[in-house]
Amino acid sequence: MFFARTPEKTDMQDTTLRTPQLAAWLAGTDIGLLELRTPEGTLRLGRQGDEIVELPDEEAEPELLNIHAPSLGVFLQSHPMATTSLVRIGQRVEAGQIVGLLKIGPLLLPVTAPQAGIVDNIHADDATAVGYGAPLFDLHPL
């Protein structure tokens, strides 16, 4: 039989006291960052080289990365032969993944994610003419 334990004010203190043990466990994995949040605070452990260190709490959200049109053309959210969009808001994408297309005459030019992230916003409507450098997507970097 298992019993749920309600969080107490000592939870963050207990976590802080166990930091060396948590760091040792983290060192035995391929995890790059461990973040524990409680109402009393946050503990962040991460890799710096071969060592596991306590990292400062990052309260600020990371800046959004804008993905711009690499050329002028007609922005397409899906391939003309497909019925589903290449990406949706909230979707995780990998570096180099095609997130949209630019139609330039008969040519389809891929628009790719420069790094891994979460799609936060799509600025251009489907089948809209866009100019070089027009903002197409916002990406939360991972």
- The residues spanned by each domain of the chain are 11-55, 65-141
- Report the C-alpha gap between 57 and 26 in whole angstroms: 18
- Report the C-alpha gap between 128 and 132 in whole angstroms: 13
User: Of all helices (H) and strands (E), which one includes residue 74?
Assistant: strand 73-76
Least confident of 72-76, 112-116, 138-142: 138-142
Encoded tokens for 47: 């890799």
Tally of CB atoms within 10 A around 121: 13
Q: How confident is the model at residue 4 (pLDDT cuts 50, 70, 90)?
A: very low
- Report the C-alpha gap between 59 and 63 in whole angstroms: 12
Q: What is the mean pLDDT of residues 91-113?
A: 97
pLDDT of 1 > 70? The answer is no
pLDDT of 48 > 80? The answer is no
User: What's the CATH code, domain 65-141?
Assistant: 2.40.50.100
pLDDT of 137 > 80? The answer is yes
